Structures are given as C-alpha cells and as structure tokens.
Amino acid sequence: MHVFIVYAHPSEDSFTRQARDKFIEGLLAAGHSYVLSDLYKMNFKADLSEAEYLRDANYRDYPPVAADVLEEQRKINACDALVFIYPVFWTEAPAKLVGWFDRVWTYGFAYGERGMKRLDKALCLCIAGKSPEDLERCGELAAMRSVMLGDRIADRAAAGQMIVLGSTAKKNMQAREANWDKNLQTAFRAGLEL
C-alpha cells in the first residue's frame, strides 16, 4: 500500500514528531511505501486567497489551481491511504492543516465533479494533552471525529479512523511519562496495521 502522510507540527522537538517516526517505522515494517508532506517544513501556504475562495465558493474551474495545491492533489491520487498526523490545538488540528483542507479540497477535486479518487483508508493520528477519556467525557472527541472523519474525509475514503495518543501534556509529566511508551507503540502498530 502507498501512503500519503500529511504532517503538521511546528517543532521538530515534539512528541508528535516522535509519534510520526514510529508510525513510519510501522509502515515500513509492514512493507508499505509512503510520501510525506511536512506542512511546516515546506512552508505550505495555509491561507485561502480571495481568488481561491471565489473559484470554489462559486463552483468554478478558474482561476487555475495553484501549483502547490496541484502537487498535494497529485500525491492524494497516487496513494491508497491518506494519513494525517498532528497535535490537538483547542480541540482542532493546527491552523496550517485546516488551511491545507481549505486549499486542497478544491471544487472539481474534492467536491463537485470530483477528480479525487476514493481512497481505501484515511487515518487521523492525533496527539492530545488530555486523555482520550477526558476528551470523550467533555464531548471534544466526538467533535474532533465529526469534523475530521464526518466532514473532511466523509465518503472520500472507504474507511476512516481516528487514533488519539493522549495524556501528553507537559503540565502533567507523570501522566506523560507513564503513557509515553504505550503511545509510541500505538503509533507503530497503527503503521503496521494500516
């Protein structure tokens, strides 16, 4: 299986980066191939221009889609599975990843007369300071799933999944350290079992 990983974290010194690396180890151990878009390293332009907005909001195919967006769309159509790896910021993905959807999910690609192939799988591997139980209890986990899997992925993949690696907040080092290895093993297994 060929996997396209969209990674969004502003720091190389993060648990999210370590989880990404473990996930990739699992992918390779399973014999999968991958391509990675590191949105911060590539300085992906996340803000939608007025021209892009007017094209998509009015269901037009002009002006032409920007070259950086076309490249991301090419990566999607060349893969079997799409994986998003990101930290949870205020119950949401980082703005750079949200902007990726704003720009890459264009009219004529992700909706309308779709040029986007239907993927076999989509996975959201997100890293949260709160535990999954706390996210579930306060309704945030349901909201995260609704936005990422229900809206952004929807029927664009045959199967969608969200895995939360939780209890990673630095303010609670005891929980962070207690869950560190388990979370990394989960990331590895997610790559292995994709």
> What pLDDT is attached to residue 27?
98
Q: How confident is the model at residue 111, as a pLDDT?
A: 95
pLDDT digits (tens, 9 = 90+) for 155-180: 999 999 999 999 988 888 888 888 99
pLDDT at 105 over 90: yes
**Four-CA torsion 18, 22, 24, 25, nearest 10 degrees:** 140
Predicted confidence (pLDDT) at residue 192 exceeds the cutoff of 90: yes
CB 179 within 8 A of CB 18: no
Mean pLDDT, the chain, whole residue set: 96
- The whole-number pLDDT of residue 175 equals 83
Whole-number pLDDT of residue 169 = 86
Per-residue pLDDT at 104: 98
Domain ranges of the chain: 2-192
> Which pLDDT score, from 0 to 100, does residue 22 have?
98
Overall average pLDDT of the 4-26 stretch: 97
- For 35-62, the pLDDT digits (tens) are 999 999 999 999 999 999 999 999 998 9
Check whether the bond before 10 is cis (ω within 30° of 0). Answer: no
Return the percentage of the chain with pLDDT > 70, whole number: 100
Task: Express each pLDDT in 69-78 by its tens digit.
Answer: 999 999 999 9
pLDDT score for 172: 82
Give dist(CA 171, CA 115) in Å, integer: 45
The Cα 183–Cα 151 span in angstroms is 26
Give the CATH architecture of domain 2-192. 3-Layer(aba) Sandwich (3.40)
Mean pLDDT of 101-124: 97
